[in-house]
């Protein structure tokens, strides 16, 4: 019997959603890698920086449940492209923000665009994965990490050449906009559930989605902490030269990329439970090394371990959520609404704690949280979240 077309591998759609992940990662990394320059330009303290960084996370978390409901009503393709348009339009404005409040407001809008696109492209990914009948979500997130790595490397060159934040981000927005336009026509038009069916306006986790969301939350705290504070750690704790402050972030992103490129293979062989548990242990060891040995080499090694361990956690949570929920979009958005709260919580908490203590202390606690939640990975078992398309 021939499988239904919706359950057949769609290589064109896979390529398009891979490009979307790549573009999203490049946009986010372009901003993150310039955080130290933006902080210096506006003269922000650690606590002020934490509050400003809250803007991106706030926009992200507010948009997530709305995006989940929108996927069921208008389709993940429209949600992906709508979020991408906002992201590309707002990214250049970061370099022109004249004050901390306006920068925070800009980041709120950027976060809304990034997260809306994130929900849409992850729902696309879960739908494409159903056709392949095997894990491909970690590989799709590998594309996001590749985009992040490219964005971080371009930012490093921009810093080295003395290119302003405004010029750098405007150029990146133009390139990313072209990439999105080229892949738009190949995205899947319809999702697994018929678009237009009745659905909640807000996607919130319930039942089996709650423990999955908590693992996602811990992973988001880990990723957000390493991304937002690795440069500050090198600058304030290790005391490296200005042209080296992006090195730890590049190492973290490169490690996530490698781990995600191999992640689907390991998941198919060992299962998501073992992959997440081992990942949490490796990430915790990395944060411990960063905090206990304040040297450049230790920071590079520690953030590399953190990247290797954290890489598969969020994509495997999304894959499980897409199987549990009625539609992939609702499952992804429901888990992300709580899970991405980690991006919301980490920046201000670490910023405030750093005012009273060494940055190494909150980073150590982040590693402990990741380890504790990863040990609950049994909820990702395919036997409790059926992987059969249907």
Rounded distance, CA 124 to CA 126, Å?
6
Rounded to whole angstroms, how far apart are CA atoms 312 and 290?
21
Asked if the structure places residue 20 within a domain, the reply is yes
In a domain, 2, yes or no: no
Is the CB of residue 377 less than 8 Å from the CB of residue 276? yes
- What pLDDT is attached to residue 357? 81
Question: How far is Cα of residue 344 from the mean position of the Cα atoms in its chain?
Answer: 12
- Domain total for the chain? 1
The predicted pLDDT at position 190 comes to 62
Query: How many whole angstroms separate alpha carbon 313 and alpha carbon 375?
Result: 12
3-state class (DSSP) for residue 34:
coil
Residue 194 lies in a domain: no
pLDDT in tens, the chain (390 residues): 444 445 566 788 899 999 999 999 999 999 988 988 998 889 988 788 888 888 887 898 788 778 877 887 888 899 999 999 999 999 999 989 999 999 999 999 999 999 999 989 998 988 888 778 788 899 999 998 889 889 988 998 999 999 999 999 999 999 999 999 999 988 976 654 444 445 555 566 777 788 999 999 999 999 988 988 888 889 888 888 877 888 898 899 889 889 999 999 999 899 999 999 999 999 999 999 999 998 999 999 999 999 999 999 999 998 888 787 777 777 887 888 888 778 777 777 888 888 878 888 999 999 999 999 999 999 887 554 443 332
Structure tokens at 79: 């949600």
Indicate the SS3 state at residue 84: helix
Predicted pLDDT of residue 45: 85
Structural domain harbouring 27:
11-188+200-380
336-337-342-343 Cα dihedral, nearest 10 degrees? 90
Report how far apart, in Å, the C-alpha atoms of 99 and of each of 40, 54, 276, 357 are: 12, 15, 41, 27
Looking up residue 225, the CATH number of its domain turns out to be 1.20.1250.20
For residue 275, give the nearest of 265, 289, 288, 287 by alpha carbon.
265
Structure tokens belonging to residue 87? 């992201």
Report pLDDT for 247. 87
pTM of the model: 0.78
| pLDDT for res 236 | 86
Predicted pLDDT at 135: 81
CB–CB of 130/10 below 8 Å? no
Number of CB atoms found within 10 A of residue 210's CB = 14
Q: CA torsion sign, 77 to 79 to 83 to 86?
A: positive
Question: Is position 348 within any domain?
Answer: yes
CB 87 within 8 A of CB 117: yes
Using the Cα atoms of residue 142, residue 148, residue 153 and residue 154 in order, give the sign of their dihedral: positive
Q: Using an 8 Å Cβ cutoff, are 371 and 280 in contact?
A: yes
Contact of 299 with 239, CB cutoff 8 Å:
no
- What integer pLDDT is reported at residue 191 of this predicted model? 57
| Residue 389 included in any domain | no
> Contact 149/42 with Cβ under 8 angstroms?
no
| In-domain check, residue 59 | yes
385 within domain boundaries:
no
Residue 3 lies in a domain: no
Contacts of 98 by beta carbon, 8 Å cutoff, 6+ apart: none
Q: Which two tokens stand for residue 223?
A: 């990723």
Distances (CA, A) of 327 to 115, 321, 390: 18, 9, 10
| pLDDT score, position 193 | 47
């Amino acid at each position: 019997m021939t499988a239904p077309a919706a359950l057949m591998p769609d290589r064109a759609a896979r390529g398009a959603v891979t490009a979307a992940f790549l573009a999203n990662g490049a946009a986010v990394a372009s901003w993150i890698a310039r955080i130290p320059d933006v902080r210096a330009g506006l003269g922000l303290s650690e606590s002020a920086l934490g509050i400003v960084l809250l803007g991106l996370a706030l926009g992200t978390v507010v948009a997530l449940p709305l995006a989940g409901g929108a996927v069921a009503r208008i389709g993940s393709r429209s949600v992906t492209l709508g979020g991408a348009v906002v992201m590309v339009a707002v990214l250049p404005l970061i370099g022109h923000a004249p004050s901390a409040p306006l920068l925070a407001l800009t980041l709120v809008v950027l976060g809304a665009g990034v997260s809306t696109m994130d929900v849409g492209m992850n729902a696309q990914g879960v739908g494409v994965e159903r056709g392949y009948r095997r894990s491909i979500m970690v590989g799709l997130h590998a594309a996001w990490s590749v985009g992040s790595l490219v964005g971080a490397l371009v930012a490093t060159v921009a810093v080295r050449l003395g290119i302003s934040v405004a010029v750098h981000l405007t150029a990146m927005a133009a390139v990313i906009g072209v990439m999105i336009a080229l892949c738009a026509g190949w995205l899947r038009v319809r999702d697994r559930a018929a678009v237009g069916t009745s659905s909640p306006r807000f996607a919130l986790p319930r039942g089996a989605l709650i423990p999955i969301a908590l693992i996602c939350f811990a992973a988001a705290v880990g990723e957000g902490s390493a991304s937002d504070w690795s440069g500050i750690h090198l600058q304030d704790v290790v005391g490296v030269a200005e042209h080296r402050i992006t090195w730890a972030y590049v190492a973290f992103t490169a490690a996530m990329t490698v781990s995600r490129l191999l992640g689907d293979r390991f998941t198919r062989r060992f299962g998501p439970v073992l992959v997440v548990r081992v990942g949490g242990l490796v990430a915790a060891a990395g944060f411990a090394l960063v905090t206990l040995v304040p040297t450049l080499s230790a920071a590079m090694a520690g953030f590399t371990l953190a990247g290797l361990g954290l890489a598969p956690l969020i994509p495997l949570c999304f894959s499980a959520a897409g199987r549990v929920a009625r539609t992939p979009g609702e499952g992804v958005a429901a888990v992300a609404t709580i899970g991405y709260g980690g991006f919301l919580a980490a920046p201000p908490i670490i910023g405030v704690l750093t005012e009273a203590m060494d940055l190494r202390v909150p980073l150590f606690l982040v590693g402990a949280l990741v380890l504790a939640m990863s040990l609950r990975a049994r909820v990702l078992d395919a036997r409790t979240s059926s992987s059969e398309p249907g």
